[in-house]
Amino acid sequence: MHETTTLLVEVGALLLLLGLLGRLSRRVGVSPIPLYLLAGLAFGHGGLLPLNASEEFFAVGAEIGVILLLVMLGLEYSANELVGNLRSAAPAGLIDAVLNALPGFAFALLLGWGWVAAVVLAGVTWVSSSGVIAKVLGDLGRVGNRETPVILSVLVIEDLAMALYLPLVTALLAGVGLVTGGIALAVAVLTVVLVLAVAIRYGHLISAALSAKDPEALLLGVLGLTLLVAGVAAKLQVSAAVGAFLVGIALSGPVAHHATELLSPLRDLFAAVFFVFFGLVTDPLDMPPVLLPALGLAVVTMGTKLLTGYLAARRAGIAEPGRWRAGFALTPRGEFSIVIAGLAVAAAQPVEPRLAALATAYVLITVVTGPMLARLPDFPWFKRWLRRRSQVRRPEPVPAAD
């Protein structure tokens, strides 16, 4: 009874604190993710006031948080939209992977962390934060801008790539051999293709089985289906997160719309729990030694992300101001980076003890500075610089012949 009482006190106090931090972040106009991570660091191992009774609760809540983040992401797209984006934005996705995954991979090798840690850090630096970017675009009134579809296409390609990357990383972290890892990747590819085919052909039947007219039944049905598929996917070594993402893709129409509304509060709750839990299992005393490396990695990969967005927007025929807006908007990393690092932390065989601290510091830097950088193209001095740049690059008119 005493343990239950302590659990309620710890969970209640921390959730109340998260609510206050979330409100503060919205008043300031920044993402709440860094504040949630800092709260986890303050109350975790080596923090100011370690919480022991509630750690198991937050561990389970963190798993559910990842699943809800991914199913909500899947609900934003139909299978047809994903296939269409995959065809049109594949070159931009390839540029994105090369420019942003390779620095993380090379950085880990330079630190002497080994190739498994290098593959993990490559994923951390590769993927932008869909949640943070969506909020930034909404706050800055850029949802209808011409460059926004380019930004979303890059994010969709990254989401699809994660459906293949996460099972591969899970297999590597489990210490399996090359053959077993190849089988895991093949199963992941087959699963993604199969689910996309089912979603395109039979998605309406799946949605029809879940009535959008009964909110209670819809909430229980979608949540139950998501957790079930995520659990089965985890058993097959495909990753629970990928299973949840594919469930979201399979649902469509009014069911997807109403499910998004019903699941949003749960997503916000358990996503906050996930970020807190990552901070809880990261010792803040491990962060000072990796702070400078994290800052250097952030500077390099924010630059490569800026180049990614610029090149993708130029390829789509967007004018130069829109290219810069696209590049700066893509710089924040967030939920997926923490998910990937969290897999390494939870691995049965430890990969690199400093990886979690480096990933936390890295995400904090990009999440705080990314939204600030996204505002740069709106400043008058930046617009004047663009005008001078265009005038310098504009060729002088050739005088007419006499």
- 111-115 — which CB contacts under 8 Å span 24+ positions? 111/293, 113/351, 113/352, 113/354, 113/355, 114/351, 114/352
Which class for 126: exposed (0-12), middle (13-18), buried (19 or more C-beta within 10 A)? Answer: buried
Residue 262: the pLDDT is 87
For all residues of the chain together, what is the average pLDDT? 80
Residue 98 pLDDT class (50, 70, 90 cuts):
very high
Q: Is the pLDDT of residue 397 over 60?
A: no
The confidence score (pLDDT) of residue 402 equals: 41
pLDDT confidence of residue 310: 94
pLDDT in tens, 24-70: 887 877 767 778 878 888 887 666 677 766 777 888 888 888 788 77
What local confidence, expressed as pLDDT, does residue 305 receive?
96
Closest CA to 156 of 204, 101, 87, 206: 87
Contact 38, 279 (CB under 8 A): yes
pLDDT digit string (tens) for 126-156? 999 877 787 777 777 787 788 888 887 888 7
Token pair recorded at residue 178: 């090359």
Q: What is the pLDDT of residues 197-208, one digit of tens each?
A: 776 777 677 777
Output the six-digit token pair for 377. Answer: 């193209």
pLDDT for res 239: 65
Structure tokens at 208: 């029809």
| Mean pLDDT of all residues in 335-360 | 78
Q: Residue for token digits 């297999």?
A: 171
Read off the tokens for 64: 């559910």
For residues 76 and 166, what is the distance between their CA atoms, to the nearest angstrom?
20
For the residues 352-375, what does the mean pLDDT come to?
Answer: 85
Looking at domain 1-384, does it have CATH number 1.20.1530.20? yes
Give every CB contact of residue 231 below 8 A, 6+ residues apart in sequence: 240, 243
Enter the tokens of residue 3: 């343990």
Tell me the torsion sign for CA atoms 365, 367, 368, 370: positive
Query: 279 pLDDT band (50/70/90 cuts)?
Result: confident
pLDDT for 235-275, tens place per residue?
766 667 777 877 887 787 788 888 888 888 888 888 888 77
Q: Is the pLDDT of residue 123 over 70?
A: yes
Domain boundaries, the chain: 1-384
pLDDT at 23 over 80: yes
Q: What is the pLDDT of residue 300?
A: 96
pLDDT value of residue 15: 87
Residue 370, φ and ψ in degrees, nearest 5: -60, -55
pLDDT at residue 82, as a whole number: 65
- Please provide residue 316's backbone torsions phi and psi, each rounded to the nearest 5 degrees: -85, 0
Q: What are phi and psi of 90, to 5 degrees?
A: -60, -45
Please state, in angstroms and rounded to a whole number, the distance separating the CA atoms of residues 360 and 37: 8
- Cβ atoms within 10 A of the Cβ of 390, count? 12
Comparing CA positions, the residue from 87, 169, 76 lying closest to residue 127 is 169
96 Cβ neighbours under 8 A, 6+ residues apart: 126, 154, 157, 158, 308, 312
Q: Which of 77-86, 339-348, 365-374 shows the lowest mean pLDDT across its residues?
A: 77-86
Write out pLDDT tens, residues 177-236: 666 667 766 776 777 677 667 767 776 777 777 777 788 888 888 889 889 888 887 776
Q: Which residue, chain included where needed, has tokens 């992300």?
A: 305
% of the chain residues with pLDDT over 90: 14
- Mean pLDDT, range 277-297, rounded to an integer: 83
3-state SS, one letter per residue, for the chain = CHHHHHHHHHHHHHHHHHHHHHHHHHHHCCCCHHHHHHHHHHHCCCCCCCCCCCHHHHHHHHHHHHHHHHHHHHHCCCHHHHHHHHHHCHHHHHHHHHHHHHHHHHHHHHCCCCHHHHHHHHHHHHCCCHHHHHHHHHHCCCCCCCCHHHHHHHHHHHHHHHHHHHHHHHHHHCCCCHHHHHHHHHHHHHHHHHHHHHHHHHHHHHHHHCCCCCHHHHHHHHHHHHHHHHHHHHHCCCCHHHHHHHHHHHCCHHHHHHHHHHHHHHHHHHHHHHHHHHHHCCCHHHCHHHHHHHHHHHHHHHHHHHHHHHHHHHHCCCCHHHHHHHHHHCCCCCHHHHHHHHHHHCCCCCCCCCHHHHHHHHHHHHHHHHHHHHCHHHCHHHHHHHHHHHHHHCCCCCCCCC
Q: Which of 151-160, 161-170, 389-398 has the lowest mean pLDDT?
A: 389-398
Q: How far apart are CA 342 and CA 357, in angstroms?
A: 11
